[in-house]
Amino acid sequence: MPYNILILGAAYGSLLGSKILFGGHYVHHVCLPAEADLINSEGFRVRLPVRGRKEAVLLDTRKLPGKVAASGPKEVSPRDFDLIGLAMQEPQYRSPGVRELLDAVAKSRVPTMSIMNMPPLPYVKRIPGLDYEALKPAYTDASVWDNFDPANLTLCSPDPQAIRPPDGQANELLVTLPTNFKVAKFDNEKGNTIIRQLEAEIDAIRFDPGDGTKIELPVKLRVHDSLFVPLAKWAMLLAGNYRCVTEDGMRTAQEAVHSDIETSRSVYNFVFDLCVKLGASPSDLVPFEKYAAAAQSLTRPASAARALQNGAPNIERADKLVQLIAKQKGLSHPAIDAQVALVDRRIEANRKKAAAA
């Protein structure tokens, strides 16, 4: 049966949204007015690289079985939807309008799937044996998550990499690393029924790119029993993404990982081992060698580094979250401590600059 699906965020969220449309579902994005106008008139255009083809495949949502629409946060009621996706950056959830909508999402008890690098605090509460109160300083405003039931919230690791083309419009997305979305199952069966149906539908897609052939598309949705599978991203974030941030600028993820491969390996394996201590099986996670090979193609600075460079007063702090969790286990890593302190300094400098403007 077709579902009504709400996605908060229209940039990265359009990647998963476009795949969901193949199943004939209705997808509604919450975004800025200019983005909403464009989406409502022209839909989305997502370009996907496909192995064996020279040109990227274009997905035009106007030609897909489902329907897409968009609006601001005040125009939607979460109770009208079957599944809700959170595809904004963590600091955005405290902004006026979005904050109130997120609280309505929490109170609606509609199954909610986060597609963020920073796991929402209620998801972290599904990991037993932590002092959750002590983790709140890692969040821009932890109170926005207060009314969520952890059983209704799950995490989908945003592993596929995508950008808005430099010369493109707000409804265009270019996929640069077509890996899979990995989602942990919910602690309730209503949500699991929905995400397993979406998984099967996305798996079954065979797309005609205009030449009469039927091709399989990359970027699947994979549902996992272990809540630690999406947390495989933590080691990648700390060994790569946050190390794109430098004292006075930024560097590519490829440089961050490969300019000092031994430090990268040490940081990565520290976070890997921490996840195992929390309850992950090593098979839930990704070995360093596989990540390091993928990082060779990451020729842009990570979004956190770009945001800091553009003056952002807040960014997602998965680096600080991992540091605080490790501290609870009596563990620390000097390179992680140094990187967290560096990001703290860069944020403080941006805030001072904004206050003086």
Amino acid at 209: P
Distant-in-sequence, close-in-space partners of 163: CB < 8 Å, separation ≥ 6: 173, 174, 176, 300
The verdict on 219 and 236 lying in the same domain is no
pLDDT value at residue 347: 98
Closest CA to 56 of 69, 46, 43, 47: 47
The CATH number that applies at residue 344 is: 1.10.1040
CB 235 within 8 A of CB 286: yes
The verdict on 96 and 218 lying in the same domain is yes
Cβ count within 10 A of residue 18: 25
Tell me which of 183, 204, 224 is where a domain ends.
224
The verdict on 217 and 234 lying in the same domain is no
Tell me which of 176, 198, 224 is where a domain ends.
224
Under DSSP, is residue 28 helix (H, G, I), strand (E, B) or coil?
A: strand
Closest CA to 13 of 32, 33, 31: 31
**Residue 64: which region, alpha, beta or left (left: phi > 0; alpha: psi -120 to 50)?**
beta
CB 63 within 8 A of CB 21: no
The verdict on 139 and 16 lying in the same domain is yes
The verdict on 253 and 209 lying in the same domain is no
The verdict on 192 and 288 lying in the same domain is no
Tell me which of 206, 224, 242 is where a domain ends.
224
pLDDT value at residue 209: 92
The verdict on 256 and 215 lying in the same domain is no
The verdict on 23 and 119 lying in the same domain is yes
Q: What is the DSSP string of 49-80?
A: --TT-SSPEEEEGGGSSSEEEEE-GGG--GGG
Tokens 């680096």, residue?
319
pLDDT value at residue 92: 97
* Domain residue limits at 128: 4-224
User: Mind spelling out the 3-state secondary structure of 88-107?
Assistant: CCHHHHHCCCHHHHHHHHHH
The verdict on 238 and 209 lying in the same domain is no
Closest CA to 269 of 301, 234, 228, 242: 234
Closest CA to 17 of 115, 121, 124, 99: 115
Terminal-residue alpha carbon distance, the chain: 53
CB 31 within 8 A of CB 85: no
The CATH number that applies at residue 49 is: 3.40.50.720
**Structure tokens belonging to residue 9:** 């965020």
Tokens 């109770």, residue?
79
The verdict on 211 and 323 lying in the same domain is no
- φ, ψ for residue 65, nearest 5 deg: -65, -35
Q: 206 has which bridge partners?
A: 216
**Structure tokens belonging to residue 251:** 């560097």
pLDDT value at residue 53: 92
Separation of alpha carbons 337 and 343, rounded Å: 10
CB 28 within 8 A of CB 78: no
pLDDT value at residue 166: 86
CB 19 within 8 A of CB 205: yes
pLDDT value at residue 357: 84
pLDDT value at residue 174: 95
The verdict on 239 and 117 lying in the same domain is no
Q: How many domains does the chain have?
A: 2
Q: What is the DSSP string of 243-308?
A: GGEETTEE--HHHHHHTTHHHHHHHHHHHHHHHHHHT--GGGS--HHHHHHHHTT--S--HHHHHH
The verdict on 269 and 336 lying in the same domain is yes
Tens of pLDDT along the chain (357 residues)?
899 999 999 999 999 999 999 999 999 999 999 999 999 999 999 999 999 899 999 999 999 999 999 999 999 999 999 999 999 999 999 999 999 999 999 999 999 999 999 999 999 999 999 999 999 999 999 999 999 999 999 999 999 989 999 889 999 999 998 999 999 999 999 999 999 999 999 999 999 998 899 999 999 999 999 999 999 999 999 999 999 999 999 999 999 999 999 999 999 999 999 999 999 999 999 999 999 999 999 899 999 999 999 999 999 999 999 999 999 999 999 999 999 999 999 999 999 999 998
**Residue 330: which region, alpha, beta or left (left: phi > 0; alpha: psi -120 to 50)?**
left
